[in-house]
Structure 1
Amino acid sequence: MHKGKKVLLAAVMATIFSGSAFADDQGSGKITFKGVIIDAPCSIAPDSVDKEIDLGQVTTDVINANKKSAPVPVDINLKNCQLDDPGDETADPVTKVDVTFTSAATDATDTNLMSNTYASGAQNVGVRLLDNAEANITLGSATEVALLEGSDTQTLHFKAQMEVLSGKTATAGQVESTANYVLAYK
């Protein structure tokens, strides 16, 4: 057998044996990728698109005595910010953003307090959003936040806390609320 035929035979044999190893399915899955293209001065960082904030564990004695838990930071991270339009020198740069929070489930007596939507969770408690100075946020109304000039990353600082419904006593259990936000640059 010629040397060239031996190499070819070895290559064919290697392909046959290795090909059968790839044919066995020893597990499979699916990955779905999602995204959105937006016309805005900044992109929302992936960690801020669908965010989960841990409000911690608070005893019923403490939350009923204080009527609220300690505020926890809630940051919305922006990236790839282009706050001025390099192609339009007459345009004013973007310096602020209005953030409007909404929730599909709010307390009937205080529509700025998000309801606990956790099935069979804690009773008589909700979640309140606060601005960075810990003032209550009005759901459905814009909260203006100043942007850092010339920075391609921005962090919008807010806070959240669990809060006992007015005149009620909180019971033990899970707490979960959902807020949506919309940004409007100016």
Structure 2
Amino acid sequence: MNMKKIVLAMAMSSAMIAGANAADQGHGKITFEGTVIEAACSINPDSLDQTVSLGSIARHQLLSGGKSTPRDFSIKLEDCDAKIGSNAEVTFNGPAGDQGEGLDKTFATTGVAAGTVGVVITQAGGVIVEPNKPATAIALNDGENELAFQAYAQGGTTTVATGAFSATANFVMNYK
């Protein structure tokens, strides 16, 4: 009989340990999203929503229309089929800066320094990509492509306020 009690006790202990392992040790939810597009290329998810830090810029650097150090960013394309589109054209849409401050080729900023600082986007060779106008078309290869750009802050011609600023440019792809 002692043996039966020992076996029964071991069985109960095993059941309790198994129950402890089945306790909730954390859980979560993963949502997968995407968009099907009619295009020559897919856009890498890392390129869809980017933040480019222009840093903390010394005010004197932006005086009289001066500019900050350019920062690199890119739009990564995947699964490109050059037979569907051999060139990619990017348009960055957003409000233009204050023409009176010489910022009309910049993207307008919000924040404390708004109106006295704009953000400039350039492509290869330092060519400025004006707000709401297509950039120069870039030749595509089959497969992966990386469209390289730079951004920098540019000060107004009459004054530059100190403080935080930000600008937003939404990009639109066009394949030819």
Q: How many residues align?
A: 168
Q: How does 1:16-165 map to 2 (within 5 A)?
A: 16-24=16-24, 29-64=28-63, 67-84=66-83, 94-103=85-94, 105-109=95-99, 110-118=103-111, 120-121=112-113, 124-149=116-141, 151-165=142-156
* Residue in structure 1 matching 2:167, options 163, 177, 185: 177
In structure 2, stretches of 5+ residues that fail to align are none
Q: TM-score, normalised by structure 1?
A: 0.75
Q: Which ranges in structure 1 are unaligned for 5 or more consecutive residues? A: 85-92
Equivalent AA in structure 2 for residue 173 of structure 1: G
Retained in 2: the 8 A contact 1:123–1:173? no
CA pair 169-41 structure 1, distance change in 2 beyond 3 A: same
Of Structure 1 and Structure 2, which has the larger fraction of its residues in strand? 2
Partner secondary structure for residue 137 of structure 2: strand
Q: What's the Cα RMSD here?
A: 2.8
Separation in 2, partners of 1:56, 1:135: 22
Q: How many percent of aligned residue pairs carry the same amino acid? A: 29
**What residue identity is the alignment partner of 1:130?**
T
Deviation at 1:156, TM superposition (A): 0.8
- Please report how far the alpha carbon of residue 15 of structure 1 lies from its aligned counterpart in structure 2 after TM superposition: 4.0
Give TM-score scaled by structure 2 length.
0.78
Cα distance change on mapping 1:161 and 1:72 into 2, 3 Å? same
Distance 1:161 1:172 in 2: 16
User: Deviation above 6 Å: which 4+ runs of structure 1?
Assistant: none
